[in-house]
Chains A and B, each alone.
Chain A
């Protein structure tokens, strides 16, 4: 059971006005079978945190490790799903999904068969030869998910994957993410600025404060598991516990934003 750990990580980058602290002293761990969600307003460094975990960025302090081994760069053990899908628009849906297998030298017939299988799992059976520019935002995100899962990673890192989708598509995608989480058993790290999404899609939740990003609160949440156990999404999102936590998080975000404003002022 691999674990992706972030241990007392900070990141400071240089700007024209001097050093800017994007993240300060952040620690968290994602184990297989967990969904950890980082919730925070824009500019709280949550994308930076994901970039560090993916290996796109190097921490200024602290360490990112997988089972104790430091992360030295991007790798197929930590597949990433991006908000802007980041697909290859010149490739068909199946060739996008097969991209990671192509990089490993898997033969075309074999990788396309695997890609079609993945596409079916994300609800895109029959869309294998579709061009990316013919697909809606929701379909593209499904392709992005299938592409990430096709390389059989240990962890799925999702950078506001549903942020650009409309409300209805978004809820269907949330359910898809949970179903894939259950069938694949991956450890998932997901960032979002939607409180409802954070609650529904997590087993654990961390709240980040703005600049520099620090974890200000941690919650154990049970709503993702309740959905997997068969409870309908509408019932879960209308549950008094769910609503109470949502209010609690709203207040916490507001309080942190106010503190931040005072700091600046």
Chain B
């Protein structure tokens, strides 16, 4: 891509963001839309500072954010520990794939909100249900991405390792896993996007902290500026997660895109 083209893209992005911001500011400052419906950018910015200093519904913005990140982080940790080996096994052994794939494909298209009530009945309204919900959302795309990455490994690479004396375990973890890593990391990036969106749903259930809970409570109390500020924070964190994972992909799987 030429520098000209790149700066052209930057200009288009700035223009569209600027336009939305201008319409938002114009519509609220002129009194066309009441603050109850949509507070202006200034009010939201002030509310963000207030949220950081004094908090809302019993916790500061940092504490809400921390609670949400901890849930997604734990869910991701468990998902990586389980989905990567399961996906490896699915990719390596067609029989295991035949056994597990239908289960994953059965629940994957179901929106998490649809099975949340069942999980509440089974696991109560504590942390377990929330983390499990996010875990399930992350597990499916991660396992599927891992399995497909494993299936795409160049067979000659495996043969080369065999004739260099690698054992089955060495081939699995020193050849197949790194070969599939680019696909695994792409899967993780997509999975975390899904996981973060599921968070809000998970926090609707009797949470006392968390960004989803904060937005939900604010909505019930008609504190619209907190709702908008919360949405901004949720979007910002999603963006940060995306950027961090793109960096991880470049750092640990840069060879795949380097041709």
- Are A and B physically bound partners? yes
Interface of A toward B, CB cutoff 8 Å? 54-56, 73-76, 78-80, 82, 84, 86-90, 99-100, 102-104, 131-134, 147-148, 151
Q: Is B41 an interface residue (CB 8 A)?
A: no
Given A133-B255, A133-B259, the answer on whether A86 and B165 have CB atoms closer than 8 Å is no
Q: Are A99 and B161 in contact (CB under 8 A)?
A: yes
Q: Are A80 and B159 in contact (CB under 8 A)?
A: yes
Given A131-B255, A132-B255, A133-B259, the answer on whether A86 and B164 have CB atoms closer than 8 Å is no
Q: Are B255 and A84 in contact (CB under 8 A)?
A: no
Q: Are A151 and B164 in contact (CB under 8 A)?
A: yes
Could you jot down 22 A-B contacts, CB within 8 Å? A54-B159, A55-B162, A56-B163, A74-B162, A79-B164, A82-B160, A86-B156, A86-B157, A89-B255, A90-B178, A90-B181, A90-B253, A90-B255, A99-B164, A100-B165, A103-B165, A103-B166, A131-B258, A132-B255, A134-B258, A147-B160, A147-B164
Nearest-neighbor residue (CB-CB) of B258 within chain A: A133
CB distance from B182 to the nearest CB of A (A): 9
Q: Which of B232-259 contact A (CB under 8 A)?
A: 253, 255-256, 258-259
Q: Considering only CB atoms and an 8 Å cut-off, how many residues of chain B contact the other chain? A: 23
Interface of B toward A, CB cutoff 8 Å? 154, 156-157, 159-167, 170, 174-175, 178-179, 181, 253, 255-256, 258-259
B-side contacts of A88, CB under 8 Å: 157, 175, 178-179
* Of B165, B170, B179, B255, the contact of A76 (CB 8 Å cutoff): B165
Interface centre among A82, A86, A100 (most CB of B within 10 A): A86
Nearest-neighbor residue (CB-CB) of A89 within chain B: B255
B-side contacts of A84, CB under 8 Å: 154, 156
CB distance from A97 to the nearest CB of B (A): 10
The CA-CA distance from A134 to B254 in the complex, in Å, is 12
List 7 A-B pairs, minimum CB-CB distance, nearest first: A100-B164, A74-B162, A86-B156, A74-B163, A86-B160, A133-B258, A89-B255
The CA-CA distance from A99 to B165 in the complex, in Å, is 9
Further contacts, 7 of them, CB under 8 A, given A55-B163, A74-B162, A103-B166: A73-B162, A76-B164, A86-B154, A103-B167, A131-B258, A133-B255, A151-B165
Nearest-neighbor residue (CB-CB) of A104 within chain B: B165
The CA-CA distance from A90 to B185 in the complex, in Å, is 14
Q: Are B165 and A82 in contact (CB under 8 A)?
A: no
Q: Are A86 and B178 in contact (CB under 8 A)?
A: no
CB distance from A9 to the nearest CB of B (A): 18
CB distance from B153 to the nearest CB of A (A): 11
Q: Are B160 and A80 in contact (CB under 8 A)?
A: yes
CB distance from A163 to the nearest CB of B (A): 13
Given A88-B175, A90-B181, the answer on whether A75 and B165 have CB atoms closer than 8 Å is yes
Nearest-neighbor residue (CB-CB) of A150 within chain B: B164
